[in-house]
Amino acid sequence: MAAHEIEIILNRQLADCLSIPVFITDVVGNLIFYNEPAEEILGKRFEDTGEMSVEEWSTEFKPLDNDGNSMDPQELPLVKTLSEQLPHHKSFQIINLRGEKQPISVTSYPIISRAGNFLGAVAIFWKRKLK
Amino acid sequence: MKVKLWGVRGSIPTTGPDTEKYGGNTSCASVAYDDHVLVLDGGTGIRQCGASVSQYKRIDILLTHLHLDHIQGLGFFMPLFDPSKEIHIWGPASSSQSLFSRISRYLSPPLFPVLLRDVPCKLELHEVSNTEFEIGPFKIRSSYIIHPGPTVGYRIMRKDFVFTYIPDHEPALGKHGMVHDPKWVSGYDLAEGADIMLHDSQYTTEEYAIRRGWGHSSINDAGLFASITSAKHTLFAHHDPGHSDGFLEEMLASFKSGSNVSVALAKEGFEIDLA
């Protein structure tokens, strides 16, 4: 069995220590790890789901812009990071598990290895208060 | 494939009766088969190793990283000063400076009188990362592992025999220690099913608790790593300079009472032929 590269392993270990939701994906967006605070957003436990394909987990979120209109997935920071291998940040809303609008900010960054290879991406979800 | 340990002490060489049994030289091992020899790391153990490999025309030195206890002996490796020798030094690539430049920080004044570029042997440097390569009869895999700064471990294969060398490694770094899933264990690909693995076990569990992030393993984490990777026999190494022979044996006895993994303390001068 091939192990993940240490840059991915260290990102998981860091995420495991944080109180903010963190999602880690591979290069195509498959969800390879999410931490406990992220379990609250997904409504699923990583121990139960294991890795999730991009098709599977992308449907868990309904992104809306700040006016409540549906967003083009291509505008999402993580999607942009995966396609451009660059960091992105954006504030928008998601419909949470209870069907409520939750304003959030998402920061995403690419994991570029010491050897310069693109290994995946990290998305950090920050909860916002409605103004 | 003959494996010999020339230095198994961690951090700084030790001398004196308290560390005489397991040895005080820092990291170095050799792996030889037919007319090929690999020297693993250039700690102070490499000085004695140098005399034993004088019959080889080509010598390949595989460095895991460039902390001082892994390169301190390089300047005292006599084949470097023999113009008839062909020496290849392999070491981890960094994202900024070349291997030559980083080794030269040590092998240059004021730390050392002779410049690396002036050593008389035919010298060639090779940078490795997550790499597979061959040297003579050996197939070698290097992978970055968890340790401060660019650091690799090596998996050395000849036919069906595997020797894994990971003297400095902290796979348990994290809030909950090592993840019990091979995909998430640093160094797994290097150690899986190895016949012999040399692995960091510098600390007791209590010492590790206050030295987390320093890049080393507790003896229990080293044992857990051996268990997860199904290494057939593990040599606990990188002995802490503050641990006497007696203390190391107490650590091992305590570990063995709670585990059925096949282990022993790495000992300077230990030699084994893997056929």
B19 touches chain A (CB under 8 A): no
Percent of chain A surpassing pLDDT 70? 98
Taking the CA atoms of residue A92, residue A95, residue A96 and residue A97 in that order, the dihedral angle to the nearest 10 degrees is: -160
Which residue from A minimizes the CA distance to B179? A13
Counting one residue from chain A and one from chain B, the pairs whose CB atoms sit within 8 A come to 53
Cross-chain Cβ contact A3/B182 below 8 Å: yes
A17 touches chain B (CB under 8 A): yes
- Tell me the per-residue pLDDT of A6-24, one tens digit each, with 9 for 90 and over: 999 999 999 999 999 999 9
> Partners of B132 in the beta sheet?
B141
Cross-chain Cβ contact B188/A12 below 8 Å: no
Average predicted confidence (pLDDT) for chain B: 97
Tell me which CATH homologous superfamily contains domain B2-273: Ribonuclease Z/Hydroxyacylglutathione hydrolase-like (3.60.15.10)
Which residue from A minimizes the CA distance to B182? A3
- pLDDT category at A130 given cuts 50, 70, 90 is low
A10 CA: distance to closest CA in chain B (Å) = 8
Q: How many CB atoms lie within 10 A of CB A111?
A: 21
A32 CA: distance to closest CA in chain B (Å) = 10
What would the mean pLDDT of A45-57 be, rounded to a whole number? 89
**Of B93, B185, B188, Cβ closest to residue A115:** B93
Dihedral pair phi/psi, residue B163, rounded to 5°? -120, 125
Query: If you count them, how many residues does chain B have?
Result: 275
Q: Which of residues 195-224 of B touch A (CB under 8 A)?
A: none
- Tell me the per-residue pLDDT of B229-243, one tens digit each, with 9 for 90 and over: 999 999 999 999 999
Three-class SS state of B60: strand
Q: Which residues of A touch B183 (CB under 8 A)?
A: 1-4
Per-residue pLDDT at A98 exceeds 90: no
Cross-chain Cβ contact A1/B146 below 8 Å: no
Per-residue pLDDT at A131 exceeds 70: no
Tokens read off for B188: 């797994």
**Of A4, A10, A114, Cβ closest to residue B150:** A114
Tokens read off for A39: 């379990």
Which residue from A minimizes the CA distance to B174? A13
Residues whose CB falls within 8 Å of the CB of residue A94, separated by 6 or more in sequence, listed in order: A41, A61, A62, A63, A64, A101, A102, A104
pLDDT at residue B82, rounded to an integer: 97
- The H-or-E segment that residue A42 falls in is helix A36-42
Q: Which residues of B touch A120 (CB under 8 A)?
A: none
- Tell me the per-residue pLDDT of B26-74, one tens digit each, with 9 for 90 and over: 999 999 999 999 999 999 999 999 999 999 999 999 999 999 999 999 9
Which residue from B minimizes the CA distance to A3? B183
**Of A3, A113, A114, Cβ closest to residue B184:** A3
> Partners of A124 in the beta sheet?
A22, A107
Average predicted confidence (pLDDT) for chain A: 91
Q: Where are the domains of chain B?
A: 2-273
pLDDT tens track of chain B, all 275 residues? 999 999 999 999 999 999 999 999 999 999 999 999 999 999 999 999 999 999 999 999 999 999 999 999 999 999 999 999 999 999 999 998 999 999 999 999 999 999 999 999 999 999 999 999 999 999 999 999 999 999 999 999 999 999 999 999 999 999 899 999 999 999 999 999 999 999 999 999 999 999 999 999 999 999 999 999 999 999 999 999 999 999 999 999 999 988 889 999 999 999 999 97
Interface test with A, best of B128, B173, B190 (most A CBs within 10 A): B173
Amino acid at residue number B84: S
B193 touches chain A (CB under 8 A): no
